[in-house]
Amino acid sequence: TGDAPSNDDPLGAYPFVVQSSASGETVLVVQDYAFGKYLGSLHVTFDSDGKVTNYSGNPILLDASVPKDDKMERVVQSLVPEIRAIESQPVGSSHVFLEGDFHVCRVQECNLGNLVTDAMLEQNLRHSDSRYWSDVSIAMMNSGGIRSSIDKGSITVGDAIKVHPFRDTVDIVELRGATVLKILEHGASMWSDQLDRLFGGFMQVAGMRIVYDMTQAKGSRVVDVQMMCSKCDIPQFEPLNEKEVYQIVMNNYLSNGGHGYTMIPEEAVGRHLVEKGDFDTLLDHIEQKSPLVQGLEGRIRFIQDIMADSLFSTLAQNNYFQQCGDESQNFTANSITGTATDSYNGTATDLSYGTATALANTGGSPGSAVGPIASWTLRVLALLTIALLIHRY
């Protein structure tokens, strides 16, 4: 209630009011962000039965106007040198920026998500007693467990702490393929690319390849899942088998059912604690693999992007982009048989859009390098490509 305490854009009301479906009682839920930036202030009046009758409150911004407690300040300052010395210790380096921003990792594959899940698998690989190449080939990490990015260059202990500040333990959970599918469908059902609805339970993975179609109804958004085999001599991806039991490494927040993944503890066939936690696992991986060159590997894809890439590949293989030449940026498709009358002033990033619109107009003239594909087919492909590009960008 009241005015916002700062220029931060709040993601919800304070307090957030929930009406209990069982009793009809008013339940107040509050959170005052993180990092000690705000102090929660909530005033509640209860009746004789303990039910909320009135409430008010607002977070207090702990800016320079709030006086420090001298005694606590002395305690903090006495600890700062030791903490800074630990935080500044170098543990490795990276040649690339490691993207951990929640705007990215909670929506799609991110390279820091790849790094932390690879680290979890690598830790188990060093201690595996399997007669195959590994007894665990799959890892899952909730994107909400990745709290910071890492700049390219030297990496310190403090950088790793910022990524994994919660010090979760790491568990190996045995799950049937049907449960894995439920996990992915739950994450997809909660997925959103809207800033105020980003889902911290969106999974970053290792040893998996997932294709989503977020335009479908909830419960039907997982298009394809490929799992890295463990009971094999040569690691390779295989289709998800709903009856097979997979050993999956994840943090204890997930294995306990966090983010609504209640199917994990409820349907787990087995569960084992790994020797080290997520922070120590990441630290070991950085030390042993530096300098890091972690990229995106297509572990998480969306059907619209795959279709657009496939259409572009088909057109390119038939030399149709070359036919359009430099004029590709100067066409606008008015209709499937229309002429180019307007100028498309796109940037270099939008060149593919301009090329596609040019294809839609020219349609493949007699004697052009269209090859065996009919010009009308190419026109349709071009228009479909435009539609997919509009959806993508």
Give dist(CA 281, CA 91) in Å, integer: 13
Reported as a single tens digit per residue, the pLDDT across 291-322 is 999 999 999 999 988 777 766 666 666 665 55
Q: What is the mean pLDDT of residues 49-64?
A: 90
Long-range pairs for 121-125: beta carbons < 8 A, 24 or more residues apart: 121/206, 121/207, 121/249, 122/281, 122/284, 122/285, 122/288, 122/289, 123/170, 123/249, 123/274, 123/275, 123/276, 123/281, 123/284, 123/285, 124/172, 124/249, 124/274
Asked if residues 224 and 302 have their Cβ atoms less than 8 Å apart, the reply is no
Query: What's the confidence (pLDDT) of residue 131?
Result: 79
Reported as a single tens digit per residue, the pLDDT across 190-220 is 999 887 789 999 999 999 999 999 999 999 9
pLDDT at 42 over 60: yes
Domain-by-domain residue ranges, the chain? 1-66, 86-298, 303-392
How high does pLDDT run on average in the chain?
Answer: 83
| 119-123, 146-150, 292-296: the lowest-pLDDT one | 119-123
pLDDT at 247 over 80: yes
Query: What's the confidence (pLDDT) of residue 14?
Result: 86
Reported as a single tens digit per residue, the pLDDT across 345-368 is 443 334 344 444 444 444 443 334
Give dist(CA 226, CA 346) in Å, integer: 37
Q: For residue 46, what are its two tokens?
A: 């209860």
Count the Cβ atoms, other than its own, within 10 Å of residue 16. Answer: 12
pLDDT at 245 over 80: yes
- Residue that wins the pLDDT comparison between 193 and 285: 285
Q: What is the mean pLDDT of residues 329-341?
A: 43
Considering the entire predicted model, what is its pTM?
A: 0.71
Query: Which positions ≥6 away from 42 have C-beta within 8 Å?
Result: 15, 28, 30, 55, 56, 57
CATH class entry, domain 86-298: alpha beta
Query: What's the confidence (pLDDT) of residue 182?
Result: 98
Name which of 381, 284, 293 is nearest 333 in CA terms.
Answer: 381
Q: What is the mean pLDDT of residues 116-140?
A: 86
Asked if residues 282 and 119 have their Cβ atoms less than 8 Å apart, the reply is yes
Task: Mark residue 329 as left, alpha or beta (left: phi above 0; alpha: psi -120 to 50; beta: remaining).
Answer: alpha
Residue whose tokens read 């932390």: 116
Q: For residue 108, what are its two tokens?
A: 């799609």
